[in-house]
Structure 1
């Protein structure tokens, strides 16, 4: 009998203590984000809350009744059956810490924590050929990568018929989201963050047609969006 009572008490304490899982979520502006509670929870008379930055209540659930904060009444969907929350049409100001919490008479238990980081999609990029010098056996060229909101970057390369290498050590990129580099066949300007990616490319053969007597004219490649 004593063993059975101890087992039941231990089970109740384990259920009440719960566990907190924390994770980072990146989301693009104007999208919806679902936040979940990883385990089934029996609330009883306890109060369940979703909170923002540890101070702003989003919703409160008590005895089956849901109370929405005025700031979130038309901005969230809450599901009582699994305690999940959908943030609708998120904006940059929605970045922060979201916490699912049960408040009881003796203690508060954090069920899950999300570090939400809202990012805007990156702007388009333009890859330009600034200069080209061709000879029968080598080609030297300089290209630039430009975008609306970040400083432009440029690189100079030297190619022979088999390989290409940067003419001088690459300076650090002024914008960490903007990169300019070579692949086996292409020159690539890449602009990306955690939620979006845009790029502009040119074929190396277009820029360095070995044996051509004329300097290549400037042109713009295609732009691609990937979400």
Structure 2
């Protein structure tokens, strides 16, 4: 009884499938300019007189007649369509974005049965991603690199340390950006359903070069410091000698200025004053003035 019920349920479902058709929608992505093959996805077709493929614009792309066993292509699709008379598959060539839409295989007899429906999306190939190093540092036992993986509107910031990094992935609609690394390379992969491109950096070479540069800088520094110290000592000695001789010259170079001032009042024909001013200027800006004035006399 149970077996009978199972058999009846199976036959009922099979009958419903045949009568209603295999109308499950299948999504297909095609790259611009490429071709795509659409199969009927079943070996058990219902009895039919004609089988045709149509699009969502209600255009019959091809019509196959069971009596003649031949398919006839629509005039507007002759150069871009191939129909297989044995498998009933449809191949669309040189796809453009205007070709995106629904494509349905229909078996026509006493009634029309949708065999399969494809939703075809024609898209561009992805653009190449860009992988850039922001900073890196290396020591004798480790290497750390910070980097950015960027493509389209997607971006991943991460770091490589101790010969590994965590795999990261971001998605936007149909575009996916994946960042991964091995012991030798950092890999930035950009993909969509029809194409993929990648950019990679040889991290082993970068780390080795950085270690060599660090070693060279340390060696240069070990030779540089003694030279700097020697130059500093020489400069200090030169400055000290210069200051010593300058001070000695200022002390020995004391100058004595003798200034005579004579004021004569011509109207009175009198020497009102006659004085001698002796100015002794020493170093450090100090001076000593000695003034001598003779008695007044009338000429």
Shorter chain as normaliser: what TM range?
0.5 to 0.7
Once the two structures are superposed, what CA deviation does each residue of 1:136-189 show, in whole Å capped at 9, x if it has no partner? 444332223344xx13635241524xx4446xx979567842222322332001
Q: Which has the higher contact order (CA 8 A, sep 6+)?
A: 1
Partner of 2:220: none
Q: 2:169, 2:61 → 1: CA distance?
A: 46
Q: Are the counterparts in 2 of residues 155 and 170 from structure 1 also a CA contact under 8 Å?
A: no
Q: Offset at 1:30?
A: 1.9
Greater Rg by CA: 2
> What SS class does the counterpart of residue 123 from structure 1 fall into?
coil
- Structure 1 alignment gaps of length 5 or more: 1-9, 216-227
Residue pair 2:50, 2:64 contacting (<8 A) in 1 also: yes
- Is 1:96 the counterpart of 2:101? The answer is yes
Using the size of structure 1 for normalisation, the TM-score is: 0.66
Of 86, 111, 114, which residue of structure 1 is paired with 2:115? 111
For each residue in 1:101-148, what CA deviation from the matched residue of structure 2 results, as whole angstroms up to 9, or x when unmatched? 02234x21122222333332222333222322333444332223344x
Length, aligned pairs only: 196
Is 1:52 aligned to residue 55 of structure 2? yes
1:27 and 2:30 correspond = yes
Normalized per residue, which structure has more helix?
Answer: 2
C-alpha contact (below 8 Å) 2:101/2:120 kept by paired residues: yes
**Does residue 1:201 correspond to 2:200, yes or no?**
yes
Aligned to 1:4: none
Q: Contact 2:46 / 2:107 at 8 angstroms: preserved in 1?
A: no
Alpha-carbon deviations, 1:40-59, whole Å to 9, x = none? 65866x33220113733212
Q: TM-score, normalised by structure 2?
A: 0.53
Map of 1:1-227 to 2, 5 A cutoff?
Answer: 17=19, 19-20=21-22, 22=24, 23-37=26-40, 38-39=42-43, 46-53=49-56, 55-62=58-65, 64=68, 66-105=71-110, 107-147=111-151, 150-151=152-153, 153-157=155-159, 159-160=161-162, 163-165=163-165, 176-209=175-208, 211-214=211-214
